[in-house]
Amino acid sequence: MAHNGVLTYPAFVRFWIADAVSNLGTFVSGLALQLLLIQTMHANQTELGLIRTAQWLPYLLFGLLAGVLVDRVRRRPVLIVTDVCCALLFCAVGVLALAGVLTVPALAVLVFLAGVASMFFRAAHQSLLPSLVPLPLLPAATSRLEQTWNAAQSVGPLVAGALVRFLSAPIAVLADAATYAVSAAVLGTVRVAEPVPERAPDRHLWRELKEGAGWVYRHRTLAPYAISLHLWFFFNSLVTTVLVFFAAVDLQLDALTIGLVLACAGVTGVLGAGLAPRLGDRFGLGRVYTAAEWLSPVAYLVVLFARPGWAGIAALVCSQLLFGLSLGLKGPLEGSYRNAVTPDRLRGRMNATIRSLNWGSIAVSAPLGGLIAATWGNRPAIAVGIVGLSVAALVVNVSPFRSARMPEEVAGS
């Protein structure tokens, strides 16, 4: 009943459509940019790491500030403006690449600016959702978004691989630019009662930053969850920085095959996201989340032993199926829980605090992964990531978050 109930809220449905289109483009360009660097610009692992650093460095530098600013304004306009910015920036990447004048430094600048826009978008995106549906439907709404994210994760790389193989990587990037423009147009039709936040007479940037961070890292269950999540992002990025390079060079797979392999994660991701709310209700949100956390290191352990040929492709497929299931199970549970236990006036800062250190850590782990791979090889880099992901799973499994359940009512403001 609840799972279908979210479709009776037009604002959420339009928000969901915009999200689906934007996510599809994100996964198209995610692979297309890497293939552009590897196949067209002949970049090595270190340069791949540097581009990923440029993309996620804004979260490390400005992520906490974004949370404060998002809590001071209406969130829907932020989503529209940042979508338009991303459309223009990725259009510039595609046009410059088609003209043959795109360089690694120029790409770094463009993806850095896109990262700034994405940072504000994500802070506002997660914080707006509780205004679109009532609390009892929040897990179902989050599940819908996670299923769509995972479906895009499945279709996006496949589309990217086909576009790169039959057209070119720059065309795939331009396709992403178009999806941002469509997303902005659809978000412009969303109608939501979102009053302008009141301006407190004693408003102070540093105090607001501290309040948001304090809420996360002093909270009994949010604190260990956030720390574990930071570790997960750091070591997952270390692996994914070299994963496509490993598949293309070590396993000698073409763009379309890589796209097909990566698409497998979205299949089980959709399944996991659909099951997550029901499993959370039955076994407890914390227990399902902490169990799913172990699937990531197991998935990459399979990759570690992949060899060229059909056996290697099968190993990568199994790995992506496990990895996608992990993300699908965790996403709806963590997203709905942290929003439900956080007062509305702190949601922007809470989400930005967690996301800034999550995505900001990639600015450090991506070049580190590239350096390890370039120095000792791709497999040792993957092995380091597996160890780190195991530590992240252990942290949350021995914490109070293991017993977390959705509250019966939303935290007051």
Q: Where are the domains of the chain?
A: 2-188+203-403
CA-only gyration radius of the chain, Å: 20
pLDDT of residue 387: 95
- pLDDT at res. 410: 47
Q: What is the mean pLDDT of residues 302-331?
A: 89
- Residue 408's pLDDT is what? 64
Q: Please state the CATH superfamily assignment of the domain spanning residues 2-188+203-403 in this structure.
A: MFS general substrate transporter like domains (1.20.1250.20)
pLDDT of amino acid 194: 60
Measure the CA–CA gap between 79 and 257, rounded to whole angstroms: 34
Listed residue (325, 327, 322, 334) closest to 285, CA to CA:
334
pLDDT band at residue 311 using 50, 70 and 90 as cut-offs: confident
For residue range 140-198, list pLDDT tens digits in order: 777 777 778 777 877 777 788 788 888 888 888 888 889 899 999 988 887 776 656 56
* C-alpha distances out from residue 75 to 174, 221, 279, 343, 411, Å: 27, 26, 31, 16, 19
Q: What percent of the chain shows pLDDT beyond 70?
A: 91
- Amino acid letter, 379: R
Give the residue among 133, 151, 131 at the shortest CA–CA distance from 3.
133
* Residue in the block written with tokens 């552009």: 36
What is the model's pLDDT at position 193?
Answer: 66
Of the two residues 202 and 329, the one the predictor is more confident about is 329
pLDDT reading at 411 higher than 70: no
* Summary mean pLDDT of the chain: 82
Give the pLDDT confidence score for residue 3 in this predicted structure. 46
Give residue for tokens 């297309």. 32
pLDDT higher than threshold 80 for residue 253: yes
Structural contact between residues 381 and 242, judged by C-beta atoms closer than 8 angstroms: yes
- Token code pair at residue 40: 């067209």
Backbone angles phi, psi at 99, to 5 degrees: -80, -10
Query: How high is the pLDDT of residue 365?
Result: 86
Highest-confidence range of 64-73, 197-206, 329-338, by mean pLDDT? 329-338
The answer for residues whose C-beta is within 8 angstroms of residue 377's C-beta and 6 or more apart is none
Apex CA 384: angle with CA 379 and CA 386, to 5°?
Answer: 95
If you average pLDDT over residues 257-275, what whole number do you get? 82
User: Which of 53-62, 66-75, 174-183, 347-356 is the most confident on average?
Assistant: 174-183
Residues 292, 191 contacting (CB under 8 angstroms): no
Tokens of 159: 């589309």
pLDDT band at 413 (very low <50, low <70, confident <90, very high): very low
Question: Whose structure tokens read 């997660």?
Answer: 126
Instruction: Look up tokens 């497929």; give the residue.
Output: 317
Distance CA 96, CA 244 (A): 23
Nearest residue to 197 (alpha-carbon basis) of 127, 258, 267, 129 = 127
Q: pLDDT tens digit string along 26-35?
A: 888 778 888 8
Indicate the DSSP class of residue 6. Answer: G
Helices assigned H by DSSP within 188-309: 205-217, 222-245, 255-283, 285-292, 295-304
d(CA 127, CA 348): 5
Task: Give tens-digit pLDDT for 107-126.
Answer: 989 989 998 888 888 777 76
Cβ distance 47 to 148 under 8 Å?
no
- What are the C-alpha distances in Å from 73 to residues 101, 117, 342? 39, 16, 18
Selection from 225, 231, 216, 220 nearest residue 392 by Cα: 231
Q: How far is CA 175 from the centre of its chain?
A: 19
Predicted pLDDT of residue 88: 93
Q: What is the predicted pLDDT for the residue at 20?
A: 86
* Position 338 confidence tier, pLDDT thresholds 50, 70, 90: confident
What does the pLDDT read at residue 319? 92
Predicted confidence (pLDDT) at residue 4 exceeds the cutoff of 60: no
